[in-house]
Chain A
């Protein structure tokens, strides 16, 4: 079955914008982490995410066929063109909130990449195979940290529980599906995200349980990021920082 180019482009932008925006968010910790090892770990995580972005957005630019590059897509689009889920644009908060957000995302990526490695699109499969090795490493670390802090002191536990309550309403958007997802599923490019929920819930349920954290009852979801309908105000602020150089000096290279 042939793939609609516009739908494939949307799918690739969703992948690349997720890793780009989260990569930038995580990089904000550089030089500010509680200890040196964590600073290095966060910087490395950000680096992997930006590397994955180069692959996803590089392929997106190729599919788009307008002679653009991954850099053009990253730096020359405005907030309404971004297709990342709202979760990844949420502010860092404290260290625990950053790692909890990372865990909720890493867990999703680890489930998704397993499927994308079998994609009918060779390039998607190759990117997923490359990224999955890094993601396996990320989820191991973010899960360990969530358990360490959740099942830590009273203070760290309370902060992690508060972070979970704050971030939980943003987790559901990762499992939303629309026409693009239906087209990708029909062509064998990617699974329908809704079908990944059960595996995801099992994975995070185990870790959050070990972390002595309670998953909120509410299944209310904030959404609008992955379809571009409405981002949070936080994305615009992130972009003014990330895209500052290209906005101030258009076309600048070094």
Chain B
């Protein structure tokens, strides 16, 4: 058993990529709600993005694997439902990374601000849903490329 501080655990968690969008980390996504050390047990509270998101179990496994690799052996992963996850918890760093990766970041207005490829603002919605529960399909009428938009919830 290696002991670690809460700060250290956060640093380790910050290196875990989102399994579906590997350019952002699970900490940047805002789904890690709390880290606590109880005696020798490290308790990580995780909130799901979407209730049926299949990445949730993958993320839990990635957290456990990472913390074990870092020397912790008593790990508890708690699912925290309330308050419900919101894209407001996503960091600015994650928003920039998403856009560079070709995914328009969430906007309070409910649709993308500009095309992540050419920056054009003549956009049309193709579908409210996309390849994962968190995204929608849009198309840019300037460069004609379709792109994904990270839904704002």
Contact = CB atoms under 8 A, between A and B. Distances in A.
Interface of A: 37-38, 40-41, 43-45, 47-52, 54-55, 122-123, 125-127, 129-131, 133-134, 137, 140-141
Contact of A48 (B81, B83, B133): B133
B123 to A, nearest CB: 16
Contacts of A41: 127-129
Given A37-B127, A40-B129, A48-B133, A134 B50 contact: yes
Given A51-B48, A134-B153, 13 more contacts: A37-B127, A38-B127, A40-B130, A48-B52, A51-B50, A51-B53, A52-B52, A123-B81, A126-B84, A127-B81, A130-B51, A140-B128, A141-B129
Nearest to A44: B129
* Residues of B in contact with A, size category: 20 to 34
By DSSP majority rule, is chain A's interface helix, strand, loop, or mixed? helix
B54 interface: yes
Nearest to B52: A51
A185 B50 CA distance: 28
A118 to B, nearest CB: 13
Contacts of B137: 37, 40
A54 B128 contact: no
Contacts of A129: 81-84
B153 A133 contact: yes
A37 to B, nearest CB: 4
Interface string B48-78: 1011111000000000000000000000000
A130 B47 CA distance: 10
Contact of A137 (B84, B85, B128): B128
B131 interface: yes
Contacts of A49: 52
B127 A40 contact: yes
A92 B129 CA distance: 20
B128 A130 contact: no
Nearest to A127: B81
Contacts, number: 69
Interface of B: 48, 50-54, 81-85, 126-131, 133, 137, 151, 153
A199 B148 CA distance: 35
A50 B52 contact: yes
A47 B133 contact: yes
A48 B50 contact: yes
A204 B114 CA distance: 34
B6 to A, nearest CB: 25
A216 B87 CA distance: 41
Contacts of B81: 55, 123, 126-127, 129-130
A63 B79 CA distance: 17
A44 B137 CA distance: 13
Point out which of A43, A122, A131, A134 has the most chain B C-beta atoms below 10 A from its C-beta.
Answer: A134
B52 A130 contact: no
